[in-house]
Amino acid sequence: HIWLNSIVLPLRPLAVFMAALLLALAASALAVVRAVQLPSVRSGSTHAERVRNEAKWSVHLGDRVYFTPPVSMLELSQESSSYYYTMGSEEALTSEMKAHRVGGEGRMHILHLPKGPSMLQIPRSGDRRAAFSSLVQLQHGAVQTSPVFPVYVHSQSTQDASDEVRALEAEAAKSITSEVYRDFLSRFVAIGAKGMTTRSYSNAEASKVAEDFLLSEFTKMGLTACLQEFTGGGNKLANVVGYLPGAGTGSLTVGAHYDSRPFDAKAPGAEDNGSGVAAMLSVAHAFTSAKVKPQKTVYFVAFAAEEPGLIGSEAFASAVEGSGSAIPTKCQPSASFLQGRRKLSTRVDENTAIILDEVGWVTPKFKNQTINFEATDLPGTISMMDQMLSVNTLLNAKPLEVVHNNAPFGSDHMSFLNRGMPAVLVINGDDDAYPNYHKSTDTIENVNMDYATKVTKIVFGGAIRTAGIQA
């Protein structure tokens, strides 16, 4: 027996009562989590065309066509302007987002927000499976035919590289081999401290070993190497920078984060993101081996602390913008053409970035080996994607299939895009399916060296064309 407000209740009946109450509360919570769903039909069904023709509005998302709810569904608005679309991992949906989710498939989510986006706070700065793209208002007739991103098609607005540049690319790319890539990757993923393989941002000793490794590699290539030091998440951190001066204004950052997860256990991080760092180092090696003299300044950057929230890339992008923790003087262009706080350009969109994250694992789901170019569809990013697409067929005997997500989220490209700098994330075509994400089993055996080498060649050619070559 126990006492409740001076009334004696037998323990057993009370337990039954409490269990029933908890079940009722759980059912109520489940009803909130599972918001009323928009009506939909299979896209290939006989009803789909009728819906498109007769409904006030409709959108094609995944394998379903969603359309105007009947007036009897009082919980849902009749206007398409009350619905928003976002992209992100289903496992990262907050309880509040689930309460507003009324449709979608896989990473694609339709949210009912009749009072606008201010109704909902969505995670924006986390890692790949914790962040979401910006909310986009649904438009009648919008089509996203598959949770797999669509094939990227050349815009035809970008002029191809000259014969001289194409010849330089082809010759310099000969130094990008699976053997070179494997060497960088195998040595990098072996980094750790006190007998444990890790590059966790919270492990100061292991982070220092990684920084020293990267500084040494950049120096051996003949690049000016430096640390951009700052504080983030209660830790002293540093981005590792390899600097190649240009003749003009503007910059190109070729970046990849070097930290790994789990935070407090073995974390070899071969795919995430040893694969990106090995690609970045291979691109830098090709630049220096070919003695490329770029028009724009080129920064090869290993970012710290992407995993806890893009901390390293935020520090670097803000420095390029002209605020935040400055890039060390020896890794900046001469002051003769800098403005204010040593800005690389007075036009922010002249500072660009290509980011490498998870570029080594090949999904078994796809027929063809696939790479995703992720960026907003703006002139600067379209130009970079067009050039990399062209390079894919020029430098790879069997080109990769290239897909495109124009709702970017969850990696270091966001630090540049959010400041108005053109930036493209290069990432596996099916990164959400990688089974060893943030696990101690993210080992080098999961990385396909031939695939990663093809990705590296694509980025190398894109970097050459974006940075330009001195006459």
3-class secondary structure per residue, the chain: CEEECCEEECHHHHHHHHHHHHHHHHHHHHHHHCCCCCCEEECCCHHHHHHHHHCCCEEEECCEEEECCCCCCCCCCCCHHHEEEEEECHHHCCHHHHHHEEEEECCEEEEECCCCHHHCCCCCCCCCCCCECCCEECCCCCEECCCCCCECCCCCCCCCCCHHHHHHHHHHHHHCCHHHHHHHHHHHHCCEECCEECCCCCCHHHHHHHHHHHHHHHHHCCCEEEEEEEEECCEEEEEEEEEECCCCCCEEEEEEECCCCCCCCCCCCHHHHHHHHHHHHHHHHHHHHCCCCECCEEEEEEECCCCCCCHHHHHHHHHHHCCCCCCCHHHCCCHHHCECCCECCCCHHHEEEEEECCCCCCCCCCCCCEEEEECCCCHHHHHHHHHHHHHHHHHCCCCCEEEEECCCCCCCHHHHHCCCCCEEEEEECCHHHCCCCCCCCCCHHHCCHHHHHHHHHHHHHHHHHHHCECC
Supply angle C-alpha 361, 175, 259, rounded to 5.
40
Q: What is the pLDDT of residues 112-169, one digit of tens each?
A: 999 999 999 998 878 899 999 999 999 999 887 655 788 999 988 888 889 989 999 9
The pLDDT of residue 125: 79
Looking at residue 189, its amino acid is: V
Looking at residue 27, its amino acid is: A
Half-sphere exposure of 392 (CA within 13 A, CB side): 24
Find tokens 């935040």 and name the residue: 324
Q: Nearest Cα to 309, choosing from 439, 409, 241? A: 409
Q: Are 189 and 175 in contact (CB under 8 A)?
A: no
Average pLDDT, the chain: 89
Q: What is the pLDDT of residues 194-253, one digit of tens each?
A: 999 999 999 999 999 999 999 999 999 999 999 999 998 889 999 999 999 999 999 999
285-294, 330-339, 427-436, range with the lowest pLDDT = 330-339
Q: What is the pLDDT of residues 57-99, one digit of tens each?
A: 999 988 899 999 999 999 999 999 999 999 999 989 999 999 9
Q: What is the pLDDT of residues 156-167, one digit of tens each?
A: 888 888 998 999
Where residue 272 falls among pLDDT bands split at 50, 70, 90? very high
Q: What is the pLDDT of residues 167-199, one digit of tens each?
A: 999 999 999 999 999 999 999 999 999 999 999
Where residue 471 falls among pLDDT bands split at 50, 70, 90? confident
Question: For residues 355 and 217, what is the distance between their CA atoms, to the nearest angstrom?
Answer: 19
